[in-house]
Amino acid sequence: MSGAAIALAGAVHRYGKTVALDGVDLEVPAGCMAGLIGPDGVGKSTLLSLAAGVTRIQEGTVHVLGGDMAQRSWRRQAGGRIAYMPQGLGRNLYPTLSIAENLDFFGRLFGQGGAERRERIEELLAATGLAAFADRPAGKLSGGMKQKLGICAALIHDPDLVILDEPTTGIDPLSRRQFWELMARLRARRPSMSVIVATAYMEEAERFDWLAAMSGGRVLATGSPADILKQTGEPDLERAFVALLPQDERGDAEPLPDLPRVDHGGEPAIEATGLTRRFGDFVAVDHVNFRIEKGEIFGFLGSNGSGKSTTMKMLTGLLPASEGEAKLFGAPLAGGDMATRKRVGYMSQAFSLYAELTVRQNLVLHARLFELPDVEGRVAEMMERFDLAGVADVRPESLPLGIRQRLQLAVAVIHKPEILILDEPTSGVDPVARDGFWRTLIELSRKDGVTIFLSTHFMNEAERCDRISLMHAGKVLAIGTPEELQRQRGMDSLEEVFIAMLEEAGMGREEGAAEFKERPSAPAHVRRFDLGRLWAYARREALEIVRDPARLAFALGGPLLLLFTFGYGISFDVENLPYAAFDQDRSAQSRQLLESFEGSRYFETHAPISSTDELDRRLRSGELKLAIEIPPDFGRDLTRDRQPEVGVWLDGSMPFRAETTRGYVQGIAQSYLADEELRATGKQTPLSPVTIEPRFRYNQAFKSVNAMVPNVIMLMLVLIPAIMTALGVVKEKETGSITNFQSTPVTRIEFLLGKQLPYAVIAFLSFVTLVIFARFVFDVPVKGSLFALSVGSLAYVLATTGFGLLISSFVSSQVAAIFATAIISIVPAVNFSGLLVPVSSLSGGARLMGLAFPSSWYQQVSVGAFTKALGFAELWTDIVVIILIGLVYIGLAMLALRKQGR
Amino acid sequence: MRARLARIFRLGIKELYSLRADPVLAALIVYTFTVAVYTVSQGAKFEVENAAVAVVDEDQTALSRRLSDALLGPFFKEPVEIKATEIDAAMDAGRFVFVVQIPPRFEHDLIAGRNPTIQLDIDATAMSQAGNGAAYIQNIIQQEVQAAAPGTVAQAPVQVVIRAKFNPNLTSAWFTAVMQVINNVTMLAVILSGAALIREREHGTIEHLLVMPVTPIEIMLAKIWSNGLVIVVAATLSLVIVVERLLGVPVQGSIPLFVASMLVYQFSVTALGILLATVSSSMAQFGLIVMPVMIVMNLLSGSTTPMESMPVWLQNIMQFSPSTHFVALSQAVLYRGAGIDTIWPNLLALAGIGAAFLTLAALRFRKALQAAG
């Protein structure tokens, strides 16, 4: 124990107005197992995240491993020697990647070579007993296994300091025991390694070498557990801690009331017979039977992933049972039974209230949904009872876990349900708060006769239950009162009973208990830029994409489908215009005039019009786009050279179409007039003294499809790549795996480019398929340089994926990312990039927006190479601009991305 | 029933709170209905306006200069005189959409009645301007020639007077402004409602709702009315303030009728958003599905290019898209001043499509929930 692993001086940290750390001075000794204890929301997590370098220091100093964490260069160096495991089960793991792939990713982040990585992964998996599951996706692991994987990931680089934030929260006792055995072995291998753990389990804390007790953002006491016991004169840590607290925070000192259960008789409140649930081949719940009497507190214990949550979900009607029956109040459960739902309160394992609503708004919403008569009163009562008044107008996302759990319970009981189904309600809640929680439960059960069905990993809670059941691998192993179970086994504690039963059931046998080899720790110098780390992220991202083939199919198939529809669909060729004639003359001459319209492929004749009213009405309804009005006496006036007037009415509601129609009408009129002249005079007089010879370049036939294909490629290669990458960063922010970026030596540019690379590759593949499709389906070949087009496209997809990353780095939620990307990219890509209107005739803000977006430049490249037969010589300037825009996007994304949280 | 409506109302209010809690979303909604509408309708005009023209004047006479001077704003930018040898490079680079080439001895030949030929090069890749602009230039040249050399043409025996109803000057901003509002309504409605549902699923809040006395259909209807309301209000404000006031577009028809139709449209597109959310298993998938769907709905609805010019099979397919009906309906109401007697078939179609989407979504709702989590 030499020196301090972590040293804080005058550390103050605030989240808005909430003070998390209130001037902390603390030196955590190195080379030992140090613990941080204290109730929820006292600043334990903040302190650890400051030490890990993932949160920016606001005030005071933080020194870790002898260096100042305020300095970026030290953070980078220290990042290679620190391991940080954030709170929450497997929050920094990637659920679709397998165990081995997750570890491989972490190994690469620390710059380990292939051989070294394999060796370390093998060793860690053997030591933790995970070797048999190396190929299982992390998302499908039980909580205990996730934690083991988390610790493997943390230890892959032989860190000098391991920071664990509540690593055993929500884990069953057997897994917890295994976890600490594992930690002990690891420590034995490298005694110099410092470990600091935040925990809510006091019995765990008793085994640590050194403790710091915290409350209200301050450190109350430090020292070995024995020291702390001596200081307070209490027999155990739990009470010692309470004694350290200021008077008003101690909660009720008196022990929990031990009221006998009242027998309410009648039908059992909950009854399950042969209840079974399968997910594919996997049997999550296997013929489970139990009866829970009215007013009983029934505890559900079991290993992680044993089917407890699934059983509870079936009882709430969230999941239909595959087999068997569940009865509530003696009646079988029906999906849409509203009356039953009002009698049941449910609290799910994960926080499932609205994070964007305040505490009060959440309570009011639920009170209203249950149609409570006195909403205000009941909400006030709940806030009082669950001690939420102080945080009434705070959003739950910024509250510590314990307080959020209290809010969830308040919501679950707000409508005074007769049955409460609580899935690990006290997971992550500190002892004082748990006592308060249980006081409420006992009161509800004994006074109000509420039946409570809850799952827990805390044995002292299990002892408070009327009856408990033990579950493992989908089966109920035992049911009975806690005393009965202990007696049957002849053991003193429920924990021993539990562990023994699980071990008999086969759990924990995977424990290979392979020993670690001694390895000299050689903290390599951490490089400023490392392709390996970039590659680690690129590989990880690529693996994730491969695991979701539907997404890959959309990414490649979507553009093809759109090219197909737009190639045919977006057409500026105006044809088949519905028109009708209002012929008031009905002479040979008028019919002659109308015939010239009938013969045209541009027009489609509809039934003639018989009145001015009708003309107006039919144009108004949109049936006609064009109406021709021939005045009475047209024929007579014509023969008498009186220049009769023919009226042509266009539907101006779509100006482009009207404009084109006008051109057609003029053309037809011209040729009609020439014919007329010929008939009258017998000689061919030119209507004009000049001939104008229009040449439609690049697209002789002036067909839309030829012009459309290169434009659609432009459109597809911005919208799809942008939306694909838009979730890249923000998803990690939402799930919490962003801490891997924050706590390891990976730099912003490595992170961003690594994320971008796989999507750029997919986008480029999409480009290749689009070109092939254009050539063989639409018969639109690349007339110019294919090479120049490819280079331009590569630059373009790098820019457009960069755009997605930029958005992703800015926003904080996935919804906002999708929303922002769609809106910000569609407007310029569709309107200001030459698809509809040539860039050269854009004006004002539209022109600026167009030029600042890579699409307008790429449109030149795409159209140039496809239709204008251009090559590098003509296109290189556009390509350079696209590259520059791409670099600006990545640069801005780097600025928006914070290596440290607030 | 009343209790059910009350629950839908409460859940919708919750939705509004959520929206308020996300300033980025609010800012984006404002942006789409103001800046985006304004710049698109002002900056990207379909009519030939400010088209880039070059003139190759190999004649260099008073007449040839007169022709060149006649290519005026607002249709054309001031013509740039270039050499014949520069034509290819300039057009390749997209600098000009039109190049007028006046041959040597043009004026001389004209007076001698030799019918000289003016060549007009058109960049046909600029689809929206090439055709109409070429027609303009031809007209302008003909008129100028007739004015400069009267008597060279015979008087036309018939006068063809072409007038455009509903938009006499064929100002495209009138069209694009309103169509932009409609496109934005589509975009926002689909993304907002769909993403809101996926977020609830990913955060587990849907599960929480489903153990309460709330049915999936109530959850969906709540999302529809709340998100729909926000968008309808924003779109109406945009129409009245940005389109009518700022852009000076005269709206012919009844705005209340339009707003009422927009409510029906909202229902069908938000239902579509929810349906898309139930078929995608993650936000990433949703993004990839929603993007093409939106683009198709916007570009092929008749709000950008004429519906009649699409192939018939595609026109038929597009009848399943609510946007097609709404665009047709809005054009009728806003430009042509049509009433309910004209647009009721479109309204009916919108309601029908919306109901079908909602039914499908309801059928998939629980299945999607189980599949995703």
The full 3-state SS of A750-815, as one line of letters, equals HHHHHHHHHHHHHHHHHHHHHHHHHHHCCCCCCCCCHHHHHHHHHHHHHHHHHHHHHHHHHCCCHH
Q: Do B155 and A823 touch (CB under 8 A)?
A: no
Q: What is the 3-class SS of A504-532, one letter each residue?
A: HCCCCCCCCCCCCCCCCCCCCCCCCCCHH
What are A858's two structure tokens?
């790429």
Instruction: For residues A478 and A463, give the distance between their C-alpha atoms in angstroms, rounded to a whole number.
Output: 15
* Exposure of A144 in the CB half-sphere (CA atoms within 13 A): 24
**Residue A210 CB coordination number (10 Å):** 18
In one letter, which amino acid is A609? I
Instruction: For residues A354 and A344, give the distance between their C-alpha atoms in angstroms, rounded to a whole number.
Output: 20
At residue B352 the predicted structure's pLDDT band, cuts being 50, 70 and 90, is very high
Residues 6+ apart with CB under 8 A from A533: A108, A109, A111, A745, A746, A747, A750, A754
**Residue B6 CB coordination number (10 Å):** 13
Q: Residue holding tokens 């709905």?
A: B297
Closest to A578 measured CA to CA, from A513, A623, A535, A636: A623
**Contact (CB, 8 A) for A706 and A699:** yes
**Contact (CB, 8 A) for A829 and A812:** no
Give the nearest chain A residue to B196 (CA atoms). A815
A708-727 pLDDT tens trace:
889 899 999 999 999 999 99
Please indicate if any CB of chain A lies within 8 Å of the CB of B61.
Answer: no
Q: Do A820 and B28 touch (CB under 8 A)?
A: yes
Residue B62 phi, psi (nearest 5): -60, -40
At residue A42 the predicted structure's pLDDT band, cuts being 50, 70 and 90, is confident
Q: Is the pLDDT of residue A513 over 70?
A: no
At residue B186 the predicted structure's pLDDT band, cuts being 50, 70 and 90, is very high
* Chain A closest-CA separation from residue B139 CA (Å): 10
Give the nearest chain A residue to B205 (CA atoms). A352
Give the nearest chain A residue to B216 (CA atoms). A336
B157: nearest CB among A662, A665, A676: A676
Please indicate if any CB of chain A lies within 8 Å of the CB of B23.
Answer: no
Closest to A521 measured CA to CA, from A744, A109, A191, A741: A191
For strands A603-605 and A577-583, give the pairing. parallel
* Chain A closest-CA separation from residue B354 CA (Å): 22
Q: Is the pLDDT of residue A215 over 90?
A: no
At residue B41 the predicted structure's pLDDT band, cuts being 50, 70 and 90, is confident
User: What is the mean predicted confidence (pLDDT) over A327-342?
Assistant: 79
Q: Is the pLDDT of residue A253 over 60?
A: no
**Contact (CB, 8 A) for A560 and A713:** no
pLDDT at residue number A97: 92
Closest to B154 measured CA to CA, from A596, A683, A633: A683
SS3 content of chain A, % helix, strand, coil (to 5): 50, 15, 35
Closest to B6 measured CA to CA, from A739, A706, A686, A365: A365
* Chain A closest-CA separation from residue B206 CA (Å): 8
A539-553 pLDDT tens trace:
999 999 998 888 899
Q: For residue B82, what are the CA distances in angstroms to A17, B79, B91, B96?
A: 67, 9, 11, 11
Closest to A723 measured CA to CA, from A838, A840, A649, A808: A808
Beta-bridge partners for A85: A164
Cα A798–chain centre separation: 23
User: What is the mean predicted confidence (pLDDT) over A613-628?
Assistant: 86
At residue A752 the predicted structure's pLDDT band, cuts being 50, 70 and 90, is very high
More confident residue, B17 or B357: B357
Question: A-chain residues within 8 Å CB-CB of B43?
Answer: 831-832, 842-847, 849-850
The complex's ipTM works out to: 0.86
* Chain B closest-CA separation from residue A104 CA (Å): 24
Instruction: For residues A700 and A696, give the distance between their C-alpha atoms in angstroms, rounded to a whole number.
Output: 5
Q: Do B338 and A346 touch (CB under 8 A)?
A: no
For strands A475-480 and A467-472, give the pairing. antiparallel
* Chain A closest-CA separation from residue B201 CA (Å): 10
CB contacts < 8 A (A, B): 486
User: What is the mean predicted confidence (pLDDT) over B292-314?
Assistant: 85
Please indicate if any CB of chain A lies within 8 Å of the CB of B60.
Answer: no
Question: A-chain residues within 8 Å CB-CB of B45?
Answer: 837, 841, 843
Q: Is the pLDDT of residue B150 over 80?
A: no
**Contact (CB, 8 A) for A575 and B312:** no
Cα B17–chain centre separation: 31
pLDDT at residue number A403: 81
Please indicate if any CB of chain A lies within 8 Å of the CB of B157.
Answer: yes
Q: Is the pLDDT of residue A900 over 50?
A: yes
A211-239 burial string, b = 16+ CB within 10 Å, else e?
bbbbbbbbbbbbeebeebbebbebeebbb
User: What is the mean predicted confidence (pLDDT) over B6-22?
Assistant: 86
Interface of B with A in 80-109 (CB under 8 A): 89, 91-97
pLDDT at residue number B257: 93
pLDDT at residue number B208: 82
Q: Do A845 and B337 touch (CB under 8 A)?
A: no
pLDDT at residue number B373: 46
pLDDT at residue number A1: 38
pLDDT at residue number B155: 62
Residues 6+ apart with CB under 8 A from B313: none
Q: Residue holding tokens 């070429």?
A: B134
Instruction: For residues A283 and A575, give the distance between their C-alpha atoms in angstroms, rounded to a whole number.
Output: 62
User: What is the mean predicted confidence (pLDDT) over A458-480?
Assistant: 88
B92: nearest CB among A659, A719, A874: A874
A440-467 pLDDT tens trace:
888 888 888 899 999 988 888 888 899 9
Q: Do A724 and B287 touch (CB under 8 A)?
A: yes
Instruction: For residues A508 and B325, give the distance between their C-alpha atoms in angstroms, rounded to a whole number.
Output: 63
Dihedral sign, Cα of residue A284, residue A287, residue A293, residue A294: positive
Q: Do B153 and A822 touch (CB under 8 A)?
A: no
What are A559's two structure tokens?
């553009």
**Contact (CB, 8 A) for B177 and B243:** yes
* Chain A closest-CA separation from residue B240 CA (Å): 18
* Chain B closest-CA separation from residue A453 CA (Å): 15
Question: B-chain residues within 8 Å CB-CB of A717?
Answer: none
Dihedral sign, Cα of residue B58, residue B60, residue B64, residue B66: positive
Q: Residue holding tokens 């040539």?
A: A838
Ordered DSSP codes for A619-640:
HHTTS-SEEEEE-TTHHHHHHT
A813-850 pLDDT tens trace:
888 899 899 989 988 898 888 887 778 778 778 888 88
Question: A-chain residues within 8 Å CB-CB of B34?
Answer: none
* Exposure of B315 in the CB half-sphere (CA atoms within 13 A): 12
Q: Is the pLDDT of residue A509 over 60?
A: no
Interface of B with A in 305-344 (CB under 8 A): 305-306, 308-311, 314, 328, 331-332, 335-338, 342
∠ CA(A605), CA(A607), CA(A608), 5° rounding? 100
Instruction: For residues A333 and A339, give the distance between their C-alpha atoms in angstroms, rounded to a whole number.
Output: 11
B336: nearest CB among A622, A819, A837: A622
User: What is the mean predicted confidence (pLDDT) over A727-743?
Assistant: 88
At residue A249 the predicted structure's pLDDT band, cuts being 50, 70 and 90, is low
∠ CA(B302), CA(B303), CA(B307), 5° rounding? 15
User: What is the mean predicted confidence (pLDDT) over A860-864?
Assistant: 91
Residues 6+ apart with CB under 8 A from A420: A344, A345, A346, A347, A412, A413, A441, A444, A450, A451, A452, A453, A454
pLDDT at residue number B248: 84
At residue B290 the predicted structure's pLDDT band, cuts being 50, 70 and 90, is very high
Closest to B201 measured CA to CA, from B366, B360, B355, B357: B366
Closest to A647 measured CA to CA, from A659, A624, A666, A630: A630
Q: For residue A433, what are the CA distances in angstroms to A39, A40, A427, A869?
A: 8, 8, 11, 75
pLDDT at residue number A759: 95
For strands A67-68 and A59-64, give the pairing. antiparallel
